[in-house]
Amino acid sequence: MIWFSYDPYLNNVDGQGRVMGLLADQFYAGLYSDIITRYIDSAAPEKLSGSDALFVVGSLCFLSRSGEARSLLERCSDRMSLRESVEARYYLVTALRRERRSESSAHARKILISIFKDVRRNRTDDLTDEESRFFLYCGMAFYRYTDGRFQLSLKWAQRAYDHAFRARFPFGRLVSYDLMGHSQLNAGDIRAGLKNISNSAVISEALGRGAVNQSIEVSRRLYRSTFGLDTGCVLMDELTGAIRACSFENSYTLASLYIELARLQLLIGDGHLAESSLRDAGEWVYRLDLPFMDANLSFRYAHLACLQGNFKKSLELVRSARARVTEAHDHSMEIRILGLEARILRLMGAESDADALTAGIRKLEALSGHVISRRINARLGIGGAGPIKRGEDALGDLMDEMRFETNDARARVLNSGFLGLVPAMINLTPFCDAIVFGFVNESVTFMSKGHVRHDPDGWPDLVRKLFMGLAEKRQMSKEEIAERVWRQPYRTARHDPLIYALVARARKMLEPYTHWLTVGDGAYILEPSLIVRDVSVKRVSESTNSDVRADIFSRHPGLSLRQAKIMELCETRTTVANKDLCELFAVSEVTAGRDLSDLVDKGLVRRIGKGRATSYTKR
């Protein structure tokens, strides 16, 4: 942090030795609203000099008022120096690309070309030229980022940083670090991306608190949630805290936070809260009227409807999202939307239509570097997983492990707090009513309309026997209960008090779902739609071929069940180690090593490294 003290902007001096004004200080601290109030929205707005106009243009752009920014830039461009004009045009490019409309993108491209020509035509060796080049490369990086070309975005952001460093321009380094971080995170280099986001936060703190600080902190929390880098409860607290701290004039950020909060609430097993958060998101999305945000909201509603089992509604919503995202030209978002549509079509039995979409997804994957979208689709058998290191995307790793039903995998799901993943692990729909015994050890898990509750202590054996008996017959008389629970013929004096106490205890344990167990016509009746299941974990040796995707066996005939599961795992992970298989399959290192060696000999996987560092990857 010592290098900050040598930055001229921190001492209110620019690269040419000129003393900076209050307006520049406010802008680089992110106080955009204060600037707009003073120069645009007040009853008697102050007159603008050419040097101040760029900061007002930039403030309008950061507050999503691109139309006003464009008009102001046209009026004031003749009063600006080349350096000021380049910076102002850069802010306009970011605002237009953020809208993700066809006409806005075309105009942003024209502006970038004009910046390139002006910078190239007026090349010098002073710091002003370095700053101009920073804005040029930063604009190119942002353009590629919003287009889903994250490796190209990273390349241009790194060049932008070099020029910002040479210009001794801390705000430039802040923006460069931020862009590098976003590019790396979306390309799958999560640790490096979060480090660069942190670097930008450090510079932002030095420049002063404001909208920039808030934006960086919101980004950090959104990414932590996306990759599941803490337990569900902690991440929920972070997102709700960000919403409370967010300025209500920042519709874009609030909409993004509510949409991510809804996704997280589904993951922790609270579908009711997720619906509420999507309604809150809708209020801010409709204010923005941006195709990308409309598509994102419709996508989340489509996912919710799919989980509820309403496939027809889900298909309508996802196709609406697809139409909006095509208009926005966002390849990474389009991959996710097409993946969900293919999944819905398969659930509806339209395999040929789903296969047609899969071909389109693979073409888009060649254009976009969005690793998370590719990893999600790879779990559905669509496309291939991206190059993401194990341990960086904690939530993705957890979802990959869910394919292998071991007590360790189940325990990790519970410890993460993502109870919304439990139904998928045991082939239940998230919005069904269910009582599940034995998810981990003797536990009991409740599921009702998207809400998942887990009791690790489980229920007494007698209560468990009662519900397993009711699950078979749906209703039982006293005679049947006595026979099922106590293995004795029914005797009124002996068994009536026991049955009454047992049913009372069972109903108390069901709270707040006591309506699942009722009394009528001399029998005890279970809710007809209620599912009761014992899912004590099976060893892999007890599994069947139906537990593995069918295409694995068709593409690789002659594999054992465990080898087929290894191939399935290799399609969702960059590498697999011997110890991973020992843990997942509860086998010895020798057995796991034998399976891997056989797959190497068959040319299906290849060995990487030596000794303890040995790992395996799909060929």
What number is the average pLDDT over the span 296-321? 91
Contact of 324 with 298, CB cutoff 8 Å = yes
Calpha distance 161→138 (Å, rounded): 8
Higher pLDDT, 413 or 330: 413
Closest to 15 measured CA to CA, from 204, 163, 203, 206: 163
Give the pLDDT of residue 16: 38
Q: Which two tokens stand for residue 29?
A: 């601290």
Question: Residue 413 pLDDT > 90, yes or no?
Answer: no
- Averaging pLDDT over each range in 265-279, 332-346, 398-412, 595-609, which range is the top one? 265-279
Helix (H, G, I), strand (E, B) or coil at 617: strand
What number is the average pLDDT over the span 59-71? 86
Give the pLDDT of residue 46: 58
Burial (Cβ within 10 Å: 0-12, 13-18, ≥19) of residue 505: middle
Three-class SS of 266-301: HHCCEHHHHHHHHHHHHHHHHHHCCHHHHHHHHHHH
Instruction: Convert the pLDDT of each residue in 529-572 to its tens digit.
Output: 899 988 875 544 444 444 556 666 667 777 777 888 888 777 76
Burial (Cβ within 10 Å: 0-12, 13-18, ≥19) of residue 326: middle
What number is the average pLDDT over the span 579-594? 77
Give the dihedral of Cα atoms 265, 268, 272, 277; nearest 10 deg: -10
| Lowest mean pLDDT segment, chosen from 168-182, 212-226, 374-388, 580-594 | 374-388
Higher pLDDT, 375 or 310: 310
pLDDT band, very low/low/confident/very high, at 63 (cuts 50, 70, 90): confident
Please work out, in degrees rounded to the nearest 5, the angle formed at the alpha carbon of residue 340 by the alpha carbons of 553 and 387.
65
Give the dihedral of Cα atoms 586, 592, 594, 600; nearest 10 deg: 140
Instruction: Convert the pLDDT of each residue in 343-384 to its tens digit.
Output: 899 888 888 888 888 877 777 776 666 666 666 666 555 555
Question: Residue 488 pLDDT > 50, yes or no?
Answer: yes
Higher pLDDT, 234 or 34: 234
What number is the average pLDDT over the span 115-129? 76
- Averaging pLDDT over each range in 327-341, 461-475, 584-598, which range is the top one? 461-475
Calpha distance 470→476 (Å, rounded): 6
Instruction: Convert the pLDDT of each residue in 201-229 to its tens digit.
Output: 988 888 775 667 788 888 999 999 988 88
What are the residue ranges of CATH 1.10.10.10 in the chain?
418-534, 540-618
CB atoms within 10 A of CB 557: 7
Calpha distance 398→536 (Å, rounded): 19
Which residues, 6 or more positions from 436, have their beta carbon under 8 angstroms from its beta carbon?
422, 426, 428, 444, 445, 446, 447, 533, 534, 535
Matching residue, tokens 């996508």:
299
CB atoms within 10 A of CB 272: 12
Closest to 257 measured CA to CA, from 267, 247, 270: 247
Give the pLDDT of residue 234: 93
What are the residue ranges of CATH 1.25.40.10 in the chain?
2-219, 238-401
Strands 517-520 and 475-477: unpaired
Calpha distance 32→40 (Å, rounded): 11
CATH 1.25.40.10 fits 2-219, yes or no: yes
Give the pLDDT of residue 2: 27
Question: Residue 93 pLDDT > 80, yes or no?
Answer: yes
- Averaging pLDDT over each range in 19-23, 101-105, 215-219, 539-543, which range is the top one? 215-219
CATH number of 238-401: 1.25.40.10
Calpha distance 4→78 (Å, rounded): 34
Question: Residue 259 pLDDT > 90, yes or no?
Answer: yes
Contact of 432 with 447, CB cutoff 8 Å = yes
Question: Residue 438 pLDDT > 90, yes or no?
Answer: no
Give the pLDDT of residue 331: 74
Give the pLDDT of residue 327: 59
Contact of 298 with 282, CB cutoff 8 Å = no
CATH T-level topology, domain 418-534: Arc Repressor Mutant, subunit A (1.10.10)
| Lowest mean pLDDT segment, chosen from 187-196, 428-437, 506-515 | 428-437
pLDDT band, very low/low/confident/very high, at 6 (cuts 50, 70, 90): very low
Cis status, amide bond into 512, omega within 30 of 0: yes
Give the pLDDT of residue 4: 28
Q: Specify the CATH number for 540-618; select among 3.40.50.2300, 1.10.3720.10, 1.10.10.10, 2.40.10.340.
A: 1.10.10.10
Give the pLDDT of residue 367: 66
Amino acid at 4: F
Counting every residue, how long is the chain?
619
Question: Residue 329 pLDDT > 80, yes or no?
Answer: no
Higher pLDDT, 128 or 259: 259
**Computed over its alpha carbons, how large is the radius of gyration of the chain?**
29
> What are the Cα distances from residue 241, in Å, to 226, 398, 440?
16, 26, 33
- Backbone dihedral region of 441: left (phi > 0), alpha (psi from -120 to 50 degrees) or beta? left
> What are the Cα distances from residue 258, in Å, to 100, 278, 286, 373?
20, 7, 13, 20
CB atoms within 10 A of CB 83: 23
Strands 434-437 and 531-534: parallel
Please work out, in degrees rounded to the nearest 5, the angle formed at the alpha carbon of residue 175 by the alpha carbons of 170 and 179.
145
Q: Which two tokens stand for residue 285?
A: 């999305």
Closest to 214 measured CA to CA, from 330, 68, 63, 57: 63
Closest to 56 measured CA to CA, from 78, 87, 81, 82: 87
What number is the average pLDDT over the span 393-399? 77
Question: Residue 15 pLDDT > 50, yes or no?
Answer: no
Question: Residue 443 pLDDT > 50, yes or no?
Answer: yes
pLDDT band, very low/low/confident/very high, at 444 (cuts 50, 70, 90): very high
Contact of 367 with 144, CB cutoff 8 Å = no
Q: How many CA atoms lie within 13 A of 230 on its CB side?
A: 13
Mean pLDDT of the chain: 81
Calpha distance 122→131 (Å, rounded): 13
